[in-house]
Amino acid sequence: MRREERRNAPRVGIVAEAVVWTNVGLARCRVEDLSIGSALLRGSPPAAIGQKIRVSLIFERGEPLAIDAEPLRWNPDDGFGATLAVAFDDLSAQQEDVIQDALLTALEALNGPSSGVRGPAANEPDAVAPRRLRRKR
């Protein structure tokens, strides 16, 4: 039996780090997966569910992106590091664009440059560009 999907946007595995500020201090984590509105962070200290925290996403290219977030779920170390699921609060259009660009870069890396992720594939001149991943508000 398949459990009900709770996510509002697709998640993508991505190469990124995060710095998390919680009530127990500062921690450097690995971003395990990312969507336009949330992330799963590995190596996180415990965080109070519902308490606002600050997360800085650090992508391979570009400046760190500081975001207010709300912890949704924390799971203790399973041998690979504790995980913290966070939902981003009140993203600006610029913050959404930075995250979306990181998601597209990750998808392109998985599918290759001719996949059409960023536009029509090179071998398909009449292809329709893919729709943006951004959620409708």
| Residue-range domains of the chain with CATH | 12-111 (2.40.10.220)
Stretch 52-62: mean pLDDT: 89
With DSSP H G I counted as helix, E B as strand and the rest as coil, what are the percentages for the chain, rounded to 5? 15, 35, 50
What's the chain's average pLDDT?
78
Give percent of the chain with pLDDT exceeding 90: 40
pLDDT tens, position by position, 62-86: 789 999 999 999 999 888 889 999 9
CB distance 45 to 28 below 8 Å: no
Using a cut of 0.75, tell me whether the model's pTM lies above it: no
Q: What is the DSSP string of 40-76?
A: EEESPPP--TT--EEEEEEESSS--EEEEEEEEEEE-
pLDDT for position 29: 94
SS3 at position 34:
strand
Is residue 18 over pLDDT 70? yes
The secondary element (H helix, E strand) that includes residue 104 is helix 93-111
Residue written as token pair 């975001």: 67
